[in-house]
Amino acid sequence: MKKFLINLGLLLLVVVALVAWTVLPWIGAVALAVALALWMALTRGGRQAGSVTAVGVGTLRQRLGSSSVIVIGIAGVVGVLVALLAMGQGFQATLQSGGRDDTAIVLRGGSVSESQSVLTRNDVDAIEQAPGIARDAAGKPQVSAELVVAANLRKKGSDDDANAQLRGLDDTAWALRPTLKIVAGRKFKPGLNELVVGQGAQREFAGLDVGDEVKLGMQTWKVVGVFASGDAYDSELWADRQEVASAYRRGNSAESVLVKLTGAGAFAAFKAALASDPKLKVEADTTRAFFARQSEGLAKMIRVVGLTVGVIMAIGAVFGALNCMFAAVAARSREIATLRAIGFRGGPVVVSVMLETMLLALLGGLLGALVVWLVFDGYTASTLNGLTDVMFQFKVAPALIWTGLKWALAIGFAGGLFPAVRAARMPVTTALREL
């Protein structure tokens, strides 16, 4: 019973330590590493732990197979976890990067996306009169009424079709997106069935090179330009709104209105003016907040899936580390007993086994993070956002690598603690008799 209570207390200690470790910033980890180094350099017990660790590390070549199990297992956990988190972060960054605090988007009240919104010509006219809207040199409001429809296109290198987002917009739209650049060809001309396509859409779908013709909405359109924006717009096709409305029988309606404000501080007055107009049933938000909300759901789901898969794989890696380190302790039982007999304490033995396991875990974490960074950083993928494909790039950021390394060290800690305690508790006489 006493042994069970001790093991239970040790298990609870491990859980508390791992929870604290998951929220520890990198500066805290550096502080712990410095404290450990000082303890090993300045105290007798620390120097003993260093000596035992050096002996254990020196025998790794003789245990190459079991050590590789720990390294490869943890590398797999870190690789999968960081890759999934990088996918979610890349998708979120792609959508959010198109948002600004000095531009606003207006949708029909209660709509959570452009595809759910419908605005009439009267709505658009009323929105243009709201205060806080910037004007060009000619005094024209910087407002773009926009229409979004799903266009069916064939994917490159495949016979499969997918939905691309075709955005019909007013000529003012270009001024509202200052970071967008035409990289090939030219802008479309109002009143013609002409398209400009994002770089992401051009990479994903066939027949979107400059000069190509593509059939959309029972009409033939000519691709006249390619643009780059570095955000979700890269996945879209753009054309004149009136032509899109005619091809898809949308009348003179719009789904959203994009507005350039005189400054970020003008948004509150602009939103209040729309809310106080009894003829309007609309909702306004800054484009930064709007795009952040659009990406939140899928990004959260990807994080949950990544953490769930990571936990399952981590449990397997912990058991693998436990088996390997128990075997290592058993193989070194005479060596450990001899050290204990000549005056080495139990504490340094525990620390040495833990350090050996966590060094292997760190090596596995670095290996997994390196592979993911080499393979996935900047890798272009696509996913559904609503009914259309959105192209985005994986982002293996330093913060994600640090998260992976924390998981690796946590697995090493959990996998090495119980074998380390067993080694420290091993009676000297029993260990010497066993071998």
Span 110-153, pLDDT tens digits: 887 888 888 888 898 899 888 999 988 888 889 999 998 888 88
Contact 133, 261 (CB under 8 A): yes
- The two tokens of residue 433 are 């008799």
pTM strictly above 0.85: no
**Is the per-residue pLDDT at 388 higher than 60?**
no
Q: Integer distance in angstroms from the first to the last C-alpha of the chain? A: 29
85-105 mean pLDDT:
78
One DSSP character per residue, 219-248 reads EEEEEEEEEE-SSGGGGEEEEEHHHHHHHT
As a whole-number percent, the residues of the chain with pLDDT over 90 amount to 12
* Residue 332: per-residue pLDDT: 63
25, exposed or middle or buried, with CB in 10 Å at 0-12, 13-18, 19+?
exposed
Q: How confident is the model at residue 176 (pLDDT cuts 50, 70, 90)?
A: confident
- How are beta strands 236-240 and 161-169 bridged, if at all? parallel
Higher-pLDDT residue of 294, 191: 191
Q: How confident is the model at residue 387 (pLDDT cuts 50, 70, 90)?
A: very low
Backbone angles phi, psi at 262, to 5 degrees: -70, -20
How does pLDDT run across 49-69, given as a tens digit for each residue? Answer: 888 778 777 777 777 777 888
Give the whole-angstrom CA distance, residue 167 versus residue 285: 20
Distances (CA, A) of 376 to 190, 232, 296, 333, 395: 40, 19, 22, 43, 8
**H or E segment and range at residue 105:** strand 103-108
**H or E segment and range at residue 106:** strand 103-108
Higher-pLDDT residue of 253, 225: 225
Return the SS3 of 142: coil
Give the whole-angstrom CA distance, residue 248 versus residue 147: 10
- How are beta strands 143-154 and 161-169 bridged, if at all? antiparallel
Contacting residues for 123 by C-beta, under 8 A, at least 6 apart: 108, 254, 257, 280, 282
**Is the per-residue pLDDT at 302 higher than 80?**
no
Mean pLDDT over the full length of the chain: 82
* Residue 235: per-residue pLDDT: 84
